[in-house]
Structures are given as C-alpha cells and as structure tokens.
Structure 1
Amino acid sequence: MNAVVFACMDADTLGGVQQVTHTVAQGLALRGHEVHVIGLHQAPEPFRYVERPLYERHVVQGRPLGEGVRWVARGRVARLLASIGPGYAVLTSPGAVSWLADLLPPRLRAIGQYHGSYERARGTTHLASVRRDYGALDQAVFLSPEDARRFAEEALLPNAAHLPNPLRAWPDRTSPLDVPRVLGVGRLAPVKRFDRLITAFARAGRTRGHWELHLIGDGPELTRLRAHASSLGIGDRVVFRGRVPAARMGQEFLDAAILGLSSEHEGLPPAVAEAASYGMPSVAFDVSGGVRSLVLDGTTGTLVPPADVETFTAALSALMADPARRGRLGAAARARAAALRPENVLDRWETLFAHIRR
C-alpha cells in the first residue's frame, strides 16, 4: 500500500474540512495505507474526530504561521515529508497548496482539494489561488460535478475532478421524525448565519409552540445569537447545545425532525449529508453545487434562494406541519446519501490514486 499524507493549515479545529480529513484518513488506514495527517499549526481548542486513530498525527508548531516562523515551519515539514515513503499528498486548501506544494518530494504525487464551492471561490481570493496553483498539481479535486466543471472552465484547469465528502458512518437506524425539533449544526460563526435560522424558526413556530430549535456547535456568535432569540420571544425554545462529541452526533439526528442550513456559503455540508443518512430532510439556502447535489428541491428537502428568509420560513413551516411529507422527503434523502457511504467514497479515493499512477 502507498503512503497518503493529508496536510491542513490546522487539522484539529471543529470544522468540516477537518472532519472530512480525519474520516478519510481513518478509512484509508483501515484499508492498510500508511496515513499521516499534518496540521501546520495547533488548533486553539483541538477537537477529537476519531477516538482511536490508526494514522499518524503531526502538528508542525503551536503558534499561527506568521512570516516570522514561515521558514522554520517549512523546514520542519520538509524533514517530515522526507521520512515518508512513496504515495500521495492531499493538500486540503489553497493555503496548504501555497505553503507546501513546492516542498513535496517527487515520490509524493500532489492532489489539491478545494472544500468550498465555485460560488465561494469567485467571491474571494480563492479563485485566483486555484487558477495560479492547482493546474500544476497531479490532480485538482472538487466536491461536485458542477463545481469541477466550473473550475475547469473558469480557472482553466486540465486536471479537475470531483470527489464528494464521505459520511463518518452509515447508520442502521433512521429518525422517526416525530420529535418536534429543528437542528442547526456548525460553528457559531457569522458565515453560518444562524441568526437567519433563528428568525425563520421564530416566524414558523408562532402557531407551533411545542417545537424547539437546537443549535449544535460553539463560536464567537453565541452571545449575539442568544440575544437575538430572546428579542424574538423564543429564548426558551432555542437551545444552544455547544460542542457535542462526534460519537454522540448520531443520537442528535435520531432525536430531530428537520435540518436547517442557513449559511452564506458552503461546499458539500457534512451536516446535510449526515441528516440525510438518518432519513431527515433539510431546508437549505441554495448556495453551492454541493448543496444542490444533496438537496433536490421537493424530492429530498427544500431548496431556497440565498438569503431569502421569507421563503425559508414558509418552507420550514410547511415541513413542521406535515409529518407525512417529512417522511417522504427523508426517505428519498437517505437513498441519495447512500452514494456517500464511507466505503463508496473510499473506493473512489483509491480509484483516483490508481488514475494518478497511470
């Protein structure tokens, strides 16, 4: 088996990129690959995604990567990479590509991932970074066929492919969808726009006072979001759960009926995929090809124009009022999510490795 190296700017923060990295790393290690996960700097509050990792974990340094320590960090990474056998290096972000691509020895074939959407990249410096750096790699990997096509066309990439994020596991039970609870899952950060989800829930729940909104995650928006819920008169029905260990997340999906995705931007959101695997429909803003690949409007959930809180409210209210429809959409969501079963996505990773070798 080959060595596989995953390199992140920060490998242990609570976030989607990190969850996917550790999930794939563990899966490939279980298949016999020599796997390493490198974080260029230490997370302020490390989150443990895998209880018993079968892969090697490396943190290059404890402090953020300012210019004063850039060359020290690069030297440490170069020495680490020199100790690893032939295989593949997966650089998980434009920052990781910029920092590390030129340090890779020839025996490590370079794969550049982008975990965001084309829409996200176009509105930031990411598109220029992908255009500048990813074409020289052995493979550039995006989250959906639509994203891969648009990057190939707009960033002129000859090596674009798509490979979705895997689920952490495939559950053997599904939610009965009868607990009157809406879930929001993610870091309490401005980009997630949980204020919009709280507003929509407040409006949708005016005639359904027995429903609750549970927000799972922590972050800098906590105080503001609490105040927002109180100002809308639903402070007692919005429950801020904080961090929930990865091993307990399955029960959270079993104990809820609808997933709300209110973000400004997403790639292929793990929360929507996990909810779908438990037979739960989502109401989501239409912000990326990855979201559109999971939420088929009227089939596996409801897709809403970006930032349209009024339409989001109506969609959420309709699902809260209709358990039969929740069941139909949830069953279709689970069937669609089967493509993201860990074994299916790991097969695709190994097919990608074989393609690069040829």
Structure 2
Amino acid sequence: MKLLYITNGITGAGGLERVLSVKASWLADHLGYEVDIISLNEEGKNSFFSFSEKVRLHSVEVSGNPVRYLSRYLEGIQKKVLELQPDIISVCDDALKGFLLPAMIRTRAKWIHESHASVQLGDRGEGVPFQKKFQHVLKQYLGRGFARVVLLSERNKNEWTLPQLEVIPNPLPFQTDKLSTLQNKRVIAVGSYSFNKGYDLLLQIWTKIEPEFPDWELNIYGKLTHDNLFAKAEKLNLKNVHFFAPAPDIQEKYVDSSIFVLPSRSEGFGMVIIEAMSCGLPVVSFDCPHGPGDIITDGHDGFLVENGHIEMFAARLQELMSSEELRQEFGTAGRETAKKYMPEKIVKQWDELFRSLVSK
C-alpha cells in the first residue's frame, strides 16, 4: 500500500516529528508500506530523529505573501501527489491550509487528518481568541472532506462535532531496558520553552520546593522559543534550575532522574509522559486538556493536579520527593501503563484503519 504523509516539517525536535519517525519507519520496515513524506522548505536538511531508509522524503518549497505561499503550497502538493499516486494521504498539519487539501488536490486517494493539538493550544489565560475559534469552525466544516479525523485522546473528542472521528494515541518512541533507580535527586521536564508548556508556572512551583529540598535540582530540556524563562528564574533567585537544549538521547536523561513533571496549560497528548513512565519515573502533571488525563491514573502511576493549581502541584511533588517508596510504587505502575503504547500495538491500529479505508 502506498502511504503519503503531508506535514510542515520533519527536521525539528518536536513531538510530531518524533511520532512521525516512529510510525512511518514501523509501517515501512515491519508492514511493507511504501511510505513517502512531504514537508516544506527542507531540501537538503537533516532530520533530528532517524527515519527508516525505506521512507522517502520530499520537500515542497514555499514562500512569499499569503496568497503566493498558498498557491505554491497547493501546486507543489498536487505535483507530488500525481507523481506518487498514493492510496492514503495523511495530513499532519493543524493549520487551516491542511484542511483545504481534500477540496483542492486531485487524487483518488483516501484522506486522513491527524490532529496533534487541542484547540486550546496557545490560550494565554484570556480564553481562546475569536480568530482561533473561527478557524476551528472552518476546520469542522472542511474536515468533512476527510474519510477520518484522527485524534490523540478520548477527551479531545469534546472539541469536535464531526461524525468520522477516531482516536489513536501516539506510540512510545523508544524502548529501553534501562530504568531509573529513583535515587538521584533530579526532577526532569521535557518540551519546548513555550507559554503553552507552562514552565513559568513550574518556576513558581519550584520556589515552594527549593527551600525545603535544597539538594534536589530541576532540569528542563526543550527547544528555545523565548528566553524570558532565564530572567524569571534569576528574578525568583532559583539556584537549582537548569535549562538544556533538546537531547537526542533523552531516555538517558529520564533514567538519570527520579521524577517527571508536566506543567502544561494544554497538550495534544503528552507523549513525554509515556516516555518517562517507560523509564520507571513517577509523574506529576496538570490535568490539562486533553492528554494527561487519558494516560495517568491519579494516585496509581502518577498525580493529576487541577489545571493551574500551583500549590497542589507543589504539594504532590513534595510527596514524591519525600518518599522513595512512593516513587517506586508509581514507577512500577507507570511501566505497565507505558506498555499500552508500544509501537506494535499503536501502529497496528493505523494499519487496520488504512486497510479498512482502501477496501471500501
């Protein structure tokens, strides 16, 4: 079967790129798919994550004002689709232009849209902007052109009214036999330094932690999107907070830590949660829309905290820092939770979906 993914980029260090590398490679290597990926303006660039040699990568070059950009985008996609003749086209682009493709591109292929973000992504505490709400209304209308719109969590269904919704979570991007001893006095957070990831909230939380646990450190790994976090940490006089660039060997960083924290305001899924769990880490996360609550069982493999409740988050984190026994209990349960997201289980769901659409 010929499968074509369309996305904005595959060379970055984000969650979408990581997931796509796992799915595309597994489908090509283990299930015999012919997999092509179209990204934008990435000719000659190296990807951050590795893809199977069987996966073919293509770049469409786009630029100019919005009208010229969209024109070149549609022309470039159409040319590639005619060349590749896919059976299935999966669009991994939450921007409005991705929803235009089924109506604008000539093909007999079945269309799928993969939604990787909540509509509340980027909400800066003042509610979802009108422009974003209006775009989501358009997406609901244009989404009818897809055979399936695939979401990452059951809770995310609340944001959509389309009948052809399906839920397939992200696969675990790596497998490791190494587990944390849970004895290193390190807390880890992973994700881009963006407003949505809530690191400003995490710094406020850490002001309540550091005086009581001065021998513990907080390590944050992520792509730099703005630098005011450094100034904020200095202003709060925090001594044991360290910022790092994305790490290709992030599993080693998990193993060297003892607790994982997710202070996000919203998530599409929260893949870093299952990554951390697979390394045996207990998790503390805000119960933000819409991923963590589908993964974590509060009080069993981690703590789910009311979204934005800084004091409760700090209290739960202190519980884990104070008790190695509790860390071990949650870590053991989390490893079992992570097994549900093994690639062979998740990619099988994709294979079943693709085959059901092609057979119609």
Q: Same fold (TM over 0.5)?
A: yes
Q: What fraction of aligned residue pairs are identical, expressed as a percent?
A: 24
2:79 partner amino acid: R
* Alpha-carbon distance, 1:354 to partner: 2.0
Aligned with 1:202 (options 202, 207, 221): 207
2:244 partner amino acid: R
- Aligned residue for 2:90? 90
* Cα distance in structure 1, aligned partners of 2:356 and 2:51: 32
* Cα distance in structure 2, aligned partners of 1:118 and 1:77: 26
* Cα distance in structure 2, aligned partners of 1:36 and 1:341: 23
SS in structure 1 of the partner of residue 244 of structure 2: strand
SS in structure 2 of the partner of residue 94 of structure 1: coil
- Aligned residue for 1:241? 244
* Alpha-carbon distance, 1:41 to partner: 3.6
* Cα distance in structure 2, aligned partners of 1:146 and 1:263: 16
* Alpha-carbon distance, 1:97 to partner: 2.7
- Aligned residue for 1:267? 268
**How many correspondences in the alignment?**
348
* Residue pairs, 1:290-305, within 5 angstroms: 290-305=291-306
- What's the TM-score, normalizing by structure 2? 0.90
What's the CA shift string for 1:296-353, capped at 9, x where partnerless?
1111111111111111111111111111111111111111111110111111110111
* Alpha-carbon distance, 1:13 to partner: 2.7
* Alpha-carbon distance, 1:119 to partner: 5.1
* Cα distance in structure 1, aligned partners of 2:343 and 2:169: 10
Q: Structure 1 residues 133 and 99, CA, compared in 2 at 3 Å: closer, same or farther? A: closer
* Cα distance in structure 2, aligned partners of 1:270 and 1:108: 29
- Aligned residue for 1:30? 29
SS in structure 2 of the partner of residue 30 of structure 1: helix
* Cα distance in structure 2, aligned partners of 1:110 and 1:65: 27
1:334 partner amino acid: R
2:17 partner amino acid: Q
What's the CA shift string for 1:166-218, capped at 9, x where partnerless?
11122222211111111111111121121111221231121211111111113
Q: Structure 1 residues 277 and 34, CA, compared in 2 at 3 Å: closer, same or farther? A: same
* Residue pairs, 1:1-358, within 5 angstroms: 2-31=1-30, 32-42=32-42, 47-50=47-50, 53-61=53-61, 63=63, 66-95=66-95, 96-117=97-118, 120=121, 123=128, 124-125=132-133, 127-148=136-157, 150-151=158-159, 155-222=160-227, 224-235=228-239, 237-245=240-248, 248-357=249-358, 358=360
2:209 partner amino acid: A
Check whether the contact 1:200–1:316 (CA below 8 A) recurs between aligned residues.
Answer: no
Q: Structure 1 residues 168 and 188, CA, compared in 2 at 3 Å: closer, same or farther? A: same
Instruction: Calculate the aligned-residue CA RMSD, in Å.
Output: 2.2
* Alpha-carbon distance, 1:75 to partner: 1.2
What's the CA shift string for 1:106-136, capped at 9, x where partnerless?
4321001111236559933353133112222
2:22 partner amino acid: T
Of stretches 314-323 and 194-203 in structure 1, the one that deviates more from structure 2 is 194-203
* Alpha-carbon distance, 1:38 to partner: 1.2
- The gaps in structure 1 that reach 5 residues or longer are none
* Cα distance in structure 2, aligned partners of 1:221 and 1:259: 22
* Cα distance in structure 2, aligned partners of 1:113 and 1:334: 27
* Alpha-carbon distance, 1:20 to partner: 1.4
- What's the TM-score, normalizing by structure 1? 0.90
